[in-house]
Chain A
Amino acid sequence: MPAHETATIPLPDRLKAWKDEEADLLDSLTELESRQGFIPRNLAEEISRALEVKLERLRQLQSKVGSNVRKEVDALVAKWKGEEGSLILILHEIQNQHGYVPREVAMEVAHALDIGLARIYEVITFYHYFQLKPPGRHNLAVCMGTACYLKGAPGLLTEAKNQLKVEEGETTPDREWHLDVVRCIGCCGMAPAMVVDGKVHGRVKPGEVTQRLTPAQPTKATP
Chain B
Amino acid sequence: MTKLTLADFQKPAAPAANPDWVRVSMDTGGIAAGADEVCAVLEKGAGTLGFPLEVRRVGTLGYSFADPLVEVARQGMPTVVYGGVDAAAAGLILRDHLVARRLLDDHIVASRARGLVLDAPTTAILVKDTAADGGDKTQFFQFSLVEDLKRRGLQDKVQVVRALDLGVYDKGVAVQFLPSRVTYVNVLAADIAKIVDTTLRGKKVLDNLLYKTPDRQMRIVLRHCGVLDPESLPNSLQHGVYQGLAKALGAMQPAEVIGEMKTSGLRGRGGAGFPTWMKWKLTAEVDREPRYIICNGDEGDPGAYMDRSVLEGDPHSVLEGMIIAAFAIGARRGYFYIRAEYPLAVRRVEKAIADARAAGLLGDNILGTGFCFDAKVRLGAGAFVCGEETALIASIEGKRGSPSPRPPYPSVRGLFGQPTAINNVETLAAVPEILVRGGAWYAGFGTEKSRGTKVFAVTGKVRHAQLVEVPLGITLRETVFDLCGGVSGGKKIKAVQTGGPSGGVIPEPLLDTQVTYETLQQLGSIMGSGGMIVMDQDDSMVEVSRFYLRFCVDESCGKCAPCRIGGYQMLQILNRLSRGRGEPGDLERIRAICKAMQKASLCGLGQGAPNPVLTSLRHFESEFKAYLEGGVTYARKMAQTRPAETPAPEPVRA
Contact = CB atoms under 8 A, between A and B. Distances in A.
A188 B461 CA distance: 11
A146 B533 contact: yes
Contact of B301 (A88, A122, A184, A202): A184
Interface in B298-325: 299-305, 308
A8 B396 CA distance: 39
A187 B342 CA distance: 11
Interface in A99-130: 122-123, 126-130
Interface residues of B, number: 51
Nearest to A145: B302
Given A146-B547, A147-B465, A184-B301, A92 B398 contact: no
A79 interface: no
Nearest to B301: A184
Given A146-B531, A151-B460, A187 B29 contact: yes
B509 interface: no
Interface stretch (B157-165, B250-258, B375-383, B420-428): B375-383
B29 A146 contact: no
Contacts of A88: 378-379, 381, 395, 398
A185 B398 contact: no
Contacts of A150: 460-461, 533, 535, 539, 544
Contacts of B341: 129, 182-186
Nearest to B342: A186
A141 B500 CA distance: 21
Nearest to A198: B343
Interface in A67-121: 84-89, 91-92
Contacts of A202: 32-33, 67
B64 A188 contact: yes
Contacts of B29: 186-187, 189-190
B101 interface: no
Given A189-B459, A200-B32, A126 B400 contact: yes
Nearest to B548: A146
A188 B304 contact: yes
Nearest to B335: A85
Contacts of B500: 146
A190 B32 contact: yes
B28 A185 contact: yes
A129 B460 contact: no
A123 B398 contact: yes
B519 to A, nearest CB: 22
A188 B303 contact: yes
Contacts of B384: 183
A200 B32 CA distance: 5
A112 to B, nearest CB: 14
Interface in B260-306: 299-305
A190 B535 contact: no
Contacts of B466: 189
B457 interface: yes
A183 B382 contact: yes
Contacts of B302: 144-147, 149, 183-184
A92 B340 contact: yes
B441 interface: no
B65 interface: yes
Nearest to A143: B302
B465 A188 contact: yes
B227 interface: no
A94 B535 CA distance: 41
A145 B384 CA distance: 12
Contacts of B395: 88
B136 interface: no
Contact of A126 (B67, B383, B533, B551): B383
B300 A183 contact: yes
Contacts of B299: 186
Contacts of B32: 187, 190, 193, 199-202
Contact of B533 (A122, A127, A147): A147
Given A92-B340, A146-B302, A188-B304, A85 B459 contact: no
A189 B65 contact: yes
A85 B382 contact: no
Interface in A143-200: 144-147, 149-151, 182-191, 193, 199-200
A188 B381 contact: no
B497 interface: yes
B90 to A, nearest CB: 18
B401 A127 contact: yes
B303 A127 contact: no
B212 to A, nearest CB: 29
A123 B28 contact: no
Given A89-B378, A189-B65, A190-B67, A200 B28 contact: yes
A201 B29 CA distance: 10
Nearest to B534: A150
Contact of A128 (B33, B64, B308, B382): B382
A85 B533 contact: no
Contacts of B380: 129
Interface in B454-497: 457, 459-461, 465-466, 497
B98 interface: no
B353 to A, nearest CB: 15
A128 B383 contact: yes
A123 B399 contact: yes
Contacts of B531: 146
Given A150-B460, A189-B64, A127 B383 contact: yes
Contacts of B465: 147, 188-189, 191
B398 A84 contact: yes
B107 to A, nearest CB: 16
A78 B118 CA distance: 66
A122 to B, nearest CB: 6
A183 B340 CA distance: 12
A120 to B, nearest CB: 10
Contacts of B303: 145-147, 184, 188
Top 10 A-B pairs, shortest CB-CB distance: A189-B64, A85-B398, A200-B32, A128-B382, A127-B381, A146-B303, A145-B302, A186-B305, A129-B381, A184-B302
Interface of B: 28-29, 31-33, 64-65, 67, 299-305, 308, 340-342, 378-384, 395-401, 416, 457, 459-461, 465-466, 497, 500, 531, 533, 535, 539, 544, 547-548, 551, 557
Given A88-B379, A190-B64, A202-B33, 20 more contacts: A87-B398, A87-B399, A88-B381, A127-B381, A127-B383, A127-B401, A129-B340, A129-B380, A145-B302, A146-B459, A147-B459, A150-B535, A150-B539, A150-B544, A183-B382, A183-B551, A186-B299, A187-B28, A187-B64, A188-B64
19 contacts: A84-B398, A85-B396, A86-B398, A88-B378, A88-B381, A123-B398, A129-B381, A146-B303, A150-B533, A150-B544, A185-B341, A186-B304, A187-B305, A188-B304, A189-B29, A189-B466, A190-B67, A191-B460, A200-B28
